[in-house]
Structures are given as C-alpha cells and as structure tokens.
Amino acid sequence: MTTTKDIAALRALVGDRTHLQEALKSADVAPLLMVLVHLGGDPAWLDRIAPYIKGPWSFHEEAPEALKAELRQAVVDILTDYADSGRALPLSPPMGLLPRMLDVCTGGTVPPEYYPLVIEEMDLEDSDPKTVKWRTQPAPATLANFHVAVIGSGFTGVAMGIKLKEAGIPFTIIEKNPSVGGTWFENTYPGIGVDTANHFYSYSFNNNADWNHFFAKGPDILAYIRRNAELAALSEHTRFNEEVTQSVWDEQAMLWRIDTVTKDGKHDQIAANVLVTATGQLNQPQYPTIPGLEDFQEPVFHTARWDHSVGYAGKRVGMIGTGASGMQVGPAIAPVVENLTIFQRSPHWAMHNPLYFETVSDGKKWVLKNIPFYTKWFRFQLFWSSSDTFHHNLKVDPNWPDQKHSLNAENAKVRDQLVAHIASEVDNDPELIRKATPEYPPYGKRMLRDNHWYRMLTRPNVDLVTEHIDHIEKGAVITKDGVRHELDILVLATGFQARRMLSPMHVVGRGGISIRDQWGEDNPRAHLGITVPNFPNFFVTYGPNTNLAHGGSAVFHSECQVRYIMLAIRELIEGDQASAEVRAEPFEAYQQKVDDAISKMAWAHPGMSSWYKNSKGRVTQNSPWRLVDYRNLTAEFDPAEYIFTKKASA
Ligand SMILES: Cc1cc2nc3c(=O)[nH]c(=O)nc-3n(C[C@H](O)[C@H](O)[C@H](O)COP(=O)(O)OP(=O)(O)OC[C@H]3O[C@@H](n4cnc5c(N)ncnc54)[C@H](O)[C@@H]3O)c2cc1C
C-alpha cells in the first residue's frame, strides 16, 4: 500500500507540472519508459520506443525529440493521475510485460533465467528478498548466546554487519584500519576510481541517487560505505585499529578463538561461534622482488600505500606496472610531472566508455531521487551492460583458428574494435601501437576502462618502457638493455598478494590443521568460494574463485555470499546446532565443476600470465560463473551438504 507519506510526496512532485515536465528532460529515455509502463501497463509505448533503443547505455538511444517530449508528458500525466486518485503505486510492473520491458530496456534479449534475479535485485515486489528472515523467531536468550566475528569492514564486512544487525544477531567486526572502507580507504592514489558503473557497484539495499559520477572516484565510494555503516550504527560493533593475527577452532567449546593485536601492541582474544573473513582478495600489497630495490633511496611506495607527503609535480617519476591501479595513476599525474617513465611487463586491454568521465548532472540526480522506480530500472540497465553479456566472449572456441590472439569470433571482433581504438588514440604511432596492444585475447585479464591512458602515451614527457628491469640503484632503474632511467620517485603499481589468500593470518581448523596446510601457499579452494572442509563455522567472502573478471560488480558477489552465510547461521541457530562443516563430496564436486568451466575460458589460455593463476597454473581467483549462475548457486543453503554437530546438552 502506498502510505500517506508517499501520496503526499507524489502530490508535491506533480504539484508543479511545468517544473516536473522540465525536470524530466534530464531523464534517460529507457528508464523513463520503464517507469511509464511499470505504472501504466500500456505495451504500446514499448512498441513505439523500442526501435530507438539499441543497447543498455544512454548513448545507445536515439529517439526523436518529439517522441521524448510525448513520453515525458505521459509520465507527468500518469503520476498526476496516481496523485489525484490517491491510488497506491504498484510495486511491480505488470508481470506479463516484464520480459518485453527487460528486452526493450536493454535493447537486447534478457533470457527468462534472469527474471528471478531481476525481481530480487530490483526488489520489484518490495519484499526485501535478499534479507534472510527467521522461520521461527529464536528466543532472546538464544540470540544473546550466539556471537559472530567478522574480520574486515570493507564493502563486504559492512554488508555482513548490516544483515547481522537486521537479524538481531550479536556480532563484532574487527578491522585493522581506523575506518571502514577497505579497498576504498587504503587506496588513495591520484586517479583512484572504479571501472564498474556505480549505480550498479553499490548495495542493492541502498541504491544511491547521489553519485557525482557514473564511474565514481575513491573518496565518493568511501563516503558511501561510511554512510551505510553509520546508518546501521556499526561503529558500536567494530573494533578499529585491531588486526586479527590468528583464529583457532576450539573443538571442545565449539568456538573460534580469535587473537588480535592493536596498533599499539595490545593483545586480546575474542570468542565467536561463527567466523566470517571479509578481508578481500586485494588487500595485501604485492612488492616486486627486484634486485637493488632497497638501494633506491629516493621516495618509493606502493599505489595502495601512496605517500601524500611526497610532491610529484615537476619530478621525474617512475612507475612499475600497468595493471588496474597503474593505468589510473598514469593519466592522473602525467600532466604535472617532469617525466613519467612507465615500466611495463605486459599491456592491458582497456575499453572506451563515453560516460567514464561524465559527472551526473543535478537534473539527473533529481530524477534518480524523485521519480518512482527510475533508479531501479537504471540500475538494471547498468547490471546488464556491465556483466553477463560479455561472458560468452571469454569462452574458448576449440575450432577458432587464431587462438593466440582471440578466443572466438565475437572475441576477435572485440579485439579489432579495441585495436582500432588504441590506434586512433595514439595517432597511429606504430611503435606505441606495438607496445600498448596485448598479444593475449581480450578479457584474458579484467577489461579496464580507457581513462585516456592511450592518449597519455603520446605525451612528450611520458616514456613507455617495455624492456625488462634488470636492477635498481640509487635514484635509477636499470633495464636489461643497460639503459639507466634516472628518477626522483618510484611508484610500485604491482598489485596485491591475492593468491596467498587470507595471508598473513594464521587460521587453524579441526584437528589442528591450518589453512596453509590445506591450501598450501597458493591453492585456495572453497565450496561456492565460501566454506572449507575441516573448518567448521568458518565462512570466507571474496574467497577462492569468486573474483569477477568478465565484468560485474564485486558488491553483487558480496551480497550473494552474505545471504548464503546468513542462511547458514539461521540453520545453526534455529536448529540449535553447534557447528556446520561442509562435506567432502559436494566440496570436491564443486571444485571439479569450477576447474572444468575455467579450463574452457580465457584465463586458462596458455599465453596468459596473471595473478589469477597459481604457481602450478591453476586459476584460483576467478569465478567461471555468470552473475546469474552464482546467484542461483548461493540463493539457498542446502543443509545436506553439511555435517552438523548438536550442542552438548547442559
Ligand atoms: C584500486 C581498486 C579498484 C577496484 N575497482 C573495482 C571495480 O571497479 N569493480 C569491482 O567490482 N571491484 C573493484 N575492485 C575490487 C574491490 O576490492 C572490491 O570491489 C571490494 O571493494 C572488496 O570489498 P571487501 O570488503 O570484500 O574487501 P576489502 O575492501 O579489501 O576490505 C577488506 C578489509 O579487511 C581488513 N582486514 C584484512 N585483514 C585483516 C585482519 N587480519 N584483521 C583485521 N582486518 C583485516 C582490511 O583492512 C580491509 O578493511 C577494485 C579494487 C581495487 C584495489
């Protein structure tokens, strides 16, 4: 039912029809059309506008101005009609029209297997489907005697805290930093930002209408995470500046014993029934092992530990690495440094997106905030444009002749487009084209956004060095060809220790087995990327084979994992169980499925070296699944896959 407050807001919205009509000029056609059909249910509108929507981004739409004006008027009329009549706004669109709406909205075809995900993601039925509800409300004493420890307060740890709080389950978040934010707290380098559009790279339960950019910069994302943490008052549950060093499963007490140390060296221990790691895959910086690095003597720092006390304007800066972070740093500092020397081991593919630098106008923010359902439809468009539509591009066609450069016909087409983009950006300079174009197929590594990286390479003060580094001396990097590159500052854009998952923590499960005993140095494996045999009541988020490299938002995956963990916790509490441990059979069967799927994908390509693969060549980081697959795998918790141990009766 629409509340009195909603009706009052609607009446205020349509009170000034001229203003509304004007304000709607800032709206994109596709989501506005969806609002109209959602509210009015008239399929004729879909037929009229569909021919002008060629894809899910706003720049794919080419409707004539007169038609857009008609659409805006129709939206004003229908909102006025609802306001005048006091009728409730329908939470869902007419379900019979949903398939056609999704197709028109994306300018493509959305298969039926996506409908449950769409209904849930957009919360079309307003039933809060991602929140796990009690089947039998536990007694207050039961809840009071249960405790969950969450390590880390980035996007995932904060989501976990919010959901635990909603369920009334006591919990403690332990965070080594003085703030929430994780990735977005620690990475403050110039140019830091996302490559996933933010109206999708955000929580489904808090669609933000206030993003300043379609692709936000670091501080805005940090502010968003902080706002969510504040809304749930998570600071009351969080121990900041405290690092978990070790967690040991106490088999007698059926509890995790979690050792922590504060920044000033105070040790403590926390006991918890359930332990959730939300430590991210990209949290521990990877430092290169280059002979002489310690002899450099000028400022040298990792992108994730940017030293803001060091001014780089007018300096000779060297940067090792051209991955996701390096590609953002380069264009941000090149205009002000004397010289930027970039040491590249292998180039990255990066795609142009016209919205990458665009700010969200005040008018668009107004529409996002005020027009009912607009944000939900806009978010869906971004979901569609940023994720599974690329998945087939990563699959190896065994009959494809040019396996070295592309994987299948579609992948080859993308390669041609990307190569043409590089050529035009570097003014057809053959040397730069050669250096900046990867040999490996597109999507072999996560596709980045071209933030003027290629154009930057044409600057007279930028050198792209592809000769390998031999060693480092005081104030200089020496390459294998004997050239000495004199530098004032050295930036290490060398990524993270993703493969040594959960390191440097020491985690000890049942029978005294440690996670390193079980995983070795770099072979992490977990059921659905979340649970591990021998480690009862232990849940990993952003765990093995859950990194999204075909596209998509890591926040989507976090929410899938958080829901799965909440379902498991519900099973423990409602069933009065002391522990749950994944059985070996489903665990092994899942690993087999993952490895089989990955063997047919880009990352297993023999020409690829990346942080996705471990020392034996197994892809341990990436998820082979589409978002819809991972959602389906984690939407329910199957107790039959777990061994439960009852609490000893008192
Ligand atoms: C520069 C950069 C850009 C990115 N851009 C995108 C993007 O565009 N799209 C996308 O989908 N993903 C992107 N990612 C991936 C990003 O990491 C995830 O999107 C997401 O932020 C991960 O959140 P998280 O909470 O799981 O982990 P993190 O954000 O890594 O948070 C982990 C937290 O755990 C804490 N912690 C770790 N160990 C301990 C310990 N022992 N004790 C206590 N606390 C501990 C850390 O301090 C940190 O706060 C990007 C990553 C980086 C580095």
**With a 6 A CB cut-off, is 561 part of the ligand 1 pocket?**
no
**With a 6 A CB cut-off, is 157 part of the ligand 1 pocket?**
yes
- What is the DSSP secondary-structure string of 111-152? -GGGHHHHHHHTTTT-S-TTS---SSPPPHHHHHT--EEEE-
Which residues lie closer than 8 Å to 65 by C-beta, 6 or more apart? none
- What is the DSSP secondary-structure string of 399-451? T-S-TTT-SSHHHHHHHHHHHHHHHHHTTT-HHHHHHHS-SSPTTSSPPEE-S
Query: What pLDDT was estimated at residue 607?
Result: 67
**With a 6 A CB cut-off, is 107 part of the ligand 1 pocket?**
no
Pairing outcome for strands 255-262 and 267-272: antiparallel
Atom 25 (ligand 1) nearest CA: 154
Residue scoring higher pLDDT (638 or 401):
638
Q: Which two tokens stand for residue 465?
A: 């060095």
Residue with tokens 């390998």, as numbered in its chain: 468
Q: Which of 214, 282, 327 should be mutated for ligand 1, with most atoms under 8 A from CB?
A: 282
Q: How confident is the model at residue 374 (pLDDT cuts 50, 70, 90)?
A: very high
Whole-number mean pLDDT of the chain?
A: 94
Residues 140-179 pLDDT 10s:
999 999 999 999 999 999 999 999 999 999 999 999 999 9
Q: Which of 160, 173, 183 should be mutated for ligand 1, with most atoms under 8 A from CB?
A: 183
C-alpha 279 – ligand 1 centre gap (Å):
7
Q: How far apart are CA 124 and CA 121, in angstroms?
A: 8
Q: Which two tokens stand for residue 65?
A: 């101005």
Residue 176: closest CA among 247, 262, 265: 262
Q: Is ipTM strictly over 0.90?
A: yes
Residues 436-448 pLDDT 10s:
999 999 988 888 9
Q: Is 80 a residue whose pLDDT tops 60?
A: yes
Residues 186-204 pLDDT 10s:
999 999 999 999 999 999 9
Q: Which two tokens stand for residue 318?
A: 């060297």
Asked if residue 281 lies in contact with residue 540, where contact means CB atoms within 8 angstroms, the answer is: no
Q: Which two tokens stand for residue 597?
A: 């799927």
Query: What pLDDT was estimated at residue 551?
Result: 86
Structural domain boundaries in the chain: 140-284+498-646
C-alpha 185 – ligand 1 centre gap (Å):
9
**With a 6 A CB cut-off, is 542 part of the ligand 1 pocket?**
yes
Q: Which two tokens stand for residue 102?
A: 């999704």
Query: What pLDDT was estimated at residue 229?
Result: 98
Residue 246: closest CA among 606, 479, 516: 516
Q: Is 605 a residue whose pLDDT tops 80?
A: no
Residues 418-431 pLDDT 10s:
999 999 999 999 99
The neighbour count for residue 254, using CB atoms within 10 Å, is 17
* 140-284+498-646 is classed CATH 3.10.180.10: no
Number of the ligand 1 atom closest to the C-alpha atom of 181: 49
Which helix or strand (DSSP H or E) is residue 343 part of?
A: strand 339-343
C-alpha 545 – ligand 1 centre gap (Å):
15
Which residues lie closer than 8 Å to 568 by C-beta, 6 or more apart? 531, 539, 580, 637, 642
pTM greater than 0.90: yes
Residues 281-319 pLDDT 10s:
999 999 999 999 999 999 999 999 999 999 999 999 999
